[in-house]
Chain A
Amino acid sequence: MAFALETKDLTIRFGGHVAVNAVSCGFEPGTLTAIVGPNGAGKTTYFNLISGQLKASSGKVFLRGKDISGDSAATRSRHGIGRAFQLTNLFPYLTVMENVRLAVQSRAHVGLNLWSIWSSHKDLIQKADEVLETVALTAKRDMAAAALPHGDQRKLEVGILMALEPDIFMFDEPTAGMSVDEVPVILDLIRSLKARRDKTILLVEHKMDVVRELADRIIVLHNGALVADGEPAEVIASPIVQQAYLGVEVAP
């Protein structure tokens, strides 16, 4: 089966430190792959290499078989790689609505329209309102993003990704720092995305119960290298995951 997304020998070095080390991995369309590993394993860096925030020292990224290694983050985003960030990364003094509307606008390719009035694009506003509804932020649509509590900022972060309607969804610890009653909103969203079976989802997540439930497949990064790859049950039972997450000592 053709991969929706594939990395080949993807590597990045910062000075002498190899943050991501020759990671080769293909992601099949319509699947949800969880990426786990201890802190500093290179998960977010791997994401940055895929979505274009960082350029690889060597190795390549393929989107639907096409080499996109040389493309900028903006180009990759336009070609269907969408990303929600681990550290909330919003437009702080614009409203919640505007944060989402900008993503819808990018998707609709009207950013370079200089002469129409933004508010006359009613379809974009309506679309943004629909997205706000799905992440339960309708009541706060006119607040500045910076004024939102942390949990709502995380929801907005996910909302922006939804509004982009990418083919590849990359979630970087989407529920980190959320209160218990807010987590289901996000998980339901990811579940319904997965149920559509036409989107490819990459999920970095520490909560093992979440991973176990959602993932079709788990890959494990450790010191920048891909050390395990397979069915959730099998990977979770592997010594490396047991050690990293459950503190089980494993004989060398």
Chain B
Amino acid sequence: MILQRLFSGDMPRSKVLTVLLLGILLALLLTPFIFPGAKALNVAAKILIFIVLVASFDLLLGYTGIVSFAHTMFFGIGAYGVAIALTHLGPTWTAVAVGAACALVISLLLSLVIGLFSLRVKALFFAMITLAVASAFQTLASQLSDLTGGEDGLSFKVPALLMDGFQKMIWDADLQQFLPHPRMIFGVEVNGKFVAFYLLAAATLVLFLVMLRLVNSPFGRVLQAIRENAFRAEALGYRVVVYRTLSTMLSAAFATLAGILLALWLRYNGPDTSLSFEIMIDILLMVVIGGMGTLYGSVIGASLFILVQNYLQDLMKAASQGVSQVPFLKDLIHPDRWLLWLGILFVLSVYRFPAGVVGKLRMRARRTT
């Protein structure tokens, strides 16, 4: 019952999917312990951040049926908000709060304007308008280099807790005597990154569950109705413009929060890490691969995509060395060709699972019961 409430009555509804999601959750939560090294931790953190980002995009694309290319703009606003505040105000939580609040206000206003002015036009024009606004914003961000650091971006210090403050807190409070190995838990050093990782995981979990609630609320149901048939939704008495605008604003707000998490994790922000169109395309692919209109799809999509993006090259390197005697094959799976194979993999997955991984799994589960 509590589980039902927590998941807003929207359970995975497929055994395979449940196992997959639990597996991903466990792997992410245990990353510091079972996958040593900075790369694994960074990949896990990126997956966490992108789960929020992709879920927020699905709110718009999958649930409301709105195609927007301005999603990374809101992601970037969040990241820049915190980055600029921390650079100029110093590494305090007050600075984080100020940066986050400003970023949220800017995102909400911008999405309100985009929503009100352009959701009345046809879907294609709306997509074009968002593309134009986002690219204008990207140019602006790199031009205002005094504020944003231009193309180089901003490196900054984050509040002490996320650096090495946790240790300091223990020593300052004279708590070390109560802990057998105050610097270690199961042989893993408890440093700023460790603390930051678990705060990030907690934030992701909360944000994901909040979004799950939103899409399963009466409001979320209206969004799906609008996606299916906006004309009829209007005839039922739902003011479509209001709902679409709210959906745009909510989606923007969650993307902004994801951006805030990104900046705090990386301690750096630049146009390529949060604003670029490459990220936009990546999010689009993650939503489609995971399954549009199912928030669980964002978990699967983000995990799968980022894992492949980070480890396919390593895998190919190993395979290529394994067949170093075979002339043509060796070149075909040379690690330099990883992007080609990434592309082929995605074309295949979209072709095989048009409803996404989650859509496919749920369909199968429904057929067997």
Name which residue of chain A comes closest to B5, CB basis. Answer: A117
A119 to B11, CA, bound (A): 13
Q: Is A252 part of the contact surface with B, judged by Cβ < 8 Å? A: no
Let me know if B235 and A119 touch, CB within 8 A.
Answer: no
A73 to B240, CA, bound (A): 10
A62 to B240, CA, bound (A): 24
Name which residue of chain A comes closest to B293, CB basis. Answer: A93
Let me know if A91 and B217 touch, CB within 8 A.
Answer: no
Which residues between 47 and 80 of chain A lie within 8 Å of chain B, taking CB atoms? 51, 53, 72-75, 77-78
Name which residue of chain B comes closest to A98, CB basis. Answer: B221
Given known contacts A77-B236, A111-B238, A164-B236, A117 and B228 CB-to-CB distance under 8 angstroms:
no
A173-189 CB contact bits vs B (8 Å, 1 = yes)? 00000000000000000
Let me know if A102 and B225 touch, CB within 8 A.
Answer: yes
Which residues between 97 and 119 of chain A lie within 8 Å of chain B, taking CB atoms? 98, 101-103, 105-107, 110-119
B1-17 CB contact bits vs A (8 Å, 1 = yes)? 00001001100000000
Given known contacts A98-B221, A117-B8, A72 and B232 CB-to-CB distance under 8 angstroms:
no
Q: Is B224 part of the contact surface with A, judged by Cβ < 8 Å? A: yes
Name which residue of chain B comes closest to A107, CB basis. Answer: B237
B304-317 CB contact bits vs A (8 Å, 1 = yes)? 00000000000000
A105 to B233, CA, bound (A): 11
Interface of B is mostly: helix
Let me know if B234 and A118 touch, CB within 8 A.
Answer: no
Given known contacts A91-B229, A94-B225, A118 and B237 CB-to-CB distance under 8 angstroms:
no
Which residues between 106 and 146 of chain A lie within 8 Å of chain B, taking CB atoms? 106-107, 110-121
Q: Is B239 part of the contact surface with A, judged by Cβ < 8 Å? A: yes
Given known contacts A73-B235, A114-B214, A119-B9, A89 and B222 CB-to-CB distance under 8 angstroms:
no
Let me know if B236 and A89 touch, CB within 8 A.
Answer: no
Let me know if B236 and A102 touch, CB within 8 A.
Answer: yes
Which residues between 202 and 227 of chain B lie within 8 Å of chain A, taking CB atoms? 213-214, 216-222, 224-225
A75 to B240, CA, bound (A): 11
Q: Is A225 part of the contact surface with B, judged by Cβ < 8 Å? A: no
A94 to B222, CA, bound (A): 11
Given known contacts A106-B237, A117-B9, A117-B213, A112 and B219 CB-to-CB distance under 8 angstroms:
yes
Let me know if A94 and B231 touch, CB within 8 A.
Answer: no
* Cβ–Cβ < 8 Å partners of A51 in chain B: 235
A101 to B222, CA, bound (A): 10
Given known contacts A102-B222, A105-B221, A114-B214, A89 and B232 CB-to-CB distance under 8 angstroms:
yes
Let me know if A106 and B238 touch, CB within 8 A.
Answer: yes
A165 to nearest B CB, angstroms?
11
Which residues between 1 and 58 of chain B lie within 8 Å of chain A, taking CB atoms? 5, 8-9
Q: Is A25 part of the contact surface with B, judged by Cβ < 8 Å? A: no
* Cβ–Cβ < 8 Å partners of A121 in chain B: 218
A90 to nearest B CB, angstroms?
7
* Cβ–Cβ < 8 Å partners of A103 in chain B: 236
A115 to B216, CA, bound (A): 9
Which residues between 230 and 266 of chain B lie within 8 Å of chain A, taking CB atoms? 231-240, 242-243, 246
Let me know if A77 and B221 touch, CB within 8 A.
Answer: no
A4 to B100, CA, bound (A): 53
Let me know if A72 and B231 touch, CB within 8 A.
Answer: no
Name which residue of chain B comes closest to A145, CB basis. Answer: B228
Name which residue of chain B comes closest to A116, CB basis. Answer: B217
CB within 8 A of A118: which of B217, B229, B235, B240?
A: B217
Name which residue of chain A comes closest to B222, CB basis. Answer: A111
Q: Is A92 part of the contact surface with B, judged by Cβ < 8 Å? A: yes
A20 to nearest B CB, angstroms?
19
A78 to B218, CA, bound (A): 17
CB within 8 A of B235: which of A53, A94, A105, A120?
A: A53
A85 to B224, CA, bound (A): 20
Most buried by A among B216, B222, B224: B222
* Cβ–Cβ < 8 Å partners of A90 in chain B: 229, 232
B210 to nearest A CB, angstroms?
9
List 22 interface pairs A-B (beta carbons < 8 Å), by A numbering: A72-B234, A74-B237, A74-B238, A77-B234, A77-B235, A91-B229, A103-B236, A105-B218, A106-B237, A112-B242, A112-B246, A113-B218, A114-B217, A114-B220, A115-B213, A116-B217, A116-B218, A117-B5, A117-B216, A120-B9, A160-B236, A164-B236
Which residues in B have some Cβ–Cβ distance to A below 8 Å?
5, 8-9, 213-214, 216-222, 224-225, 228-229, 231-240, 242-243, 246
The 6 closest A-B pairs by CB, nearest first: A77-B237, A91-B228, A78-B237, A106-B237, A74-B239, A114-B219
